[in-house]
Amino acid sequence: MKLPSSWRRVPAITALALIPALAPGLATAADYNYIEGGFLLRDNYGSSEGGFRVGGSVELTGPLAAYSEFTTNNDVNQFSVGAVFHNPITREVDWFAGGGLEYVDVGNTDDLGFGLRGGIHWTPSKLVTLTPELRYYDAVGDGQFSARLSGSYNLTPQFALVAAVQGGDDDRFEAGIRYRFGRVF
């Protein structure tokens, strides 16, 4: 059986989930309970315009968190929803991997596909968190693979400035603010 060409990049993200880092008993280094939003500059599907982004995450149980994200820049609207499995490697580093559904609306075309993401959350200090990750989604007839680096700078225990740069098939720059809330479940 021959897999579609867009699936050839999937093993790179899946490999992140195979990191031999199951370290029971360590506290998670990252916060998975937040909502954030801000400015988005996206260069994708022939569009290079500014827009906005709203996203968030909530920890469901121990190592499982749900995420959601909506981005728009007039020509491209994208809604993502899914879940990631996460686990600490050290007190400062978590790895995560997961996926979900991707709805993309470009001009007169819209499609529901799937997405995968994986990476690490690194918290080198109480003020800064860096998150390098790989993202892949397949919708609107093609696969989009990108590398992303996001970061947050804590202003208070609840609020942080956030920014991200993403390159590959889906180029983006994002800047905004994050609000952290307590554990829901």
pLDDT 10s digits, 83-126: 999 999 999 999 999 999 999 998 888 899 999 999 999 999 99
- What does the pLDDT read at residue 74? 80
Residue 185 lies in a domain: no
89 within some domain: yes
* Residue numbers of the domain that contains 166: 5-180
For residue 31, the model assigns a pLDDT of 83
Looking at residue 123, its pLDDT comes to 94
Question: Based on the structure, what is the number of domains in the chain?
Answer: 1
Q: Answer yes or no: is 160 within a domain.
A: yes
Q: Model confidence over 61-85: pLDDT tens digits? A: 889 999 999 999 888 899 999 999 9
CATH number at residue 70: 2.40.160
CA dihedral 38, 44, 95, 65 (to 10 degrees): 60
| 50 assigned to some structural domain | yes
40 belongs to a structural domain: yes
